[in-house]
Amino acid sequence: MKKVVIGVGNKLMLDDGIAIFVLENIKSVLEDNGIEVIIGETDVDFCFSKLNNVDEFYIADSYFSDRIPGDLTFKKIKDVKKIREHCAVHSLGLMDLINIYKIEIKGYFIGIEIGSIDMSIGLSNDLEVKFKDICSKILSFILNMA
C-alpha cells in the first residue's frame, strides 16, 4: 500500500486553485517520502482513474462552508459522502463517481476553506497570508498519518 495525494481545483479561479498551489509547493517533500502526487486540476475522470482499493488516498480541494478562509477540514473519505451541505465541487464529483461505482477508498479528504472565487490567477489575500501555514499543516497531516 502506498500513499497518493490528489489535488483538484482551478488555478484560474482564484482560491479554487488552493489545493493545486499547496501540492505544487510541498510536492518534492512528499515525493522524497515515497508519496505519489497527482495534480488532477478539474479533471475528475482522470482523478477517478487513479483510485483503487489498495492504496491510501488524500484528496485535497477548496472547500466552502461557514469557517474562516484558510481553515482546514480533515475527514475520512468515507465520511465525505455525508457533507453535501458544504461545497467542495471537484472532490464531491469525485466522491459521486466513487459512490456510483461502489469503490471502497481508504484515505482522507483535505478541505481548504476559501475566501473568494473569481476569474483571476493566484490566491486571495486571505489565503496568501496563510499559505505557508496551510502548506505546513497539510504536509504534517499527510506525513504523520499511519
* Superfamily grouping for domain 3-144: HybD-like (3.40.50.1450)
Does residue 24 carry a pLDDT above 80? yes
The overall average pLDDT reported for the chain is: 89
Q: Which residues of 31-54 are buried (b: 16+ CB within 10 A; e: fewer)?
A: eeeebebbbbbbebeebbeebeee
Whole-angstrom distance, CA of residue 75 vs CA of residue 12? 26
Asked if 61 contacts 10 with a C-beta cutoff of 8 angstroms, the reply is no
Domain spans, the chain: 3-144
pTM, full prediction: 0.90
In terms of DSSP H, where are the helices of the chain?
Answer: 18-32, 44-49, 77-80, 89-100, 125-128, 131-144
Give 46-89 pLDDT, tens digit per residue: 999 999 989 999 999 998 888 999 999 999 988 876 554 445 55
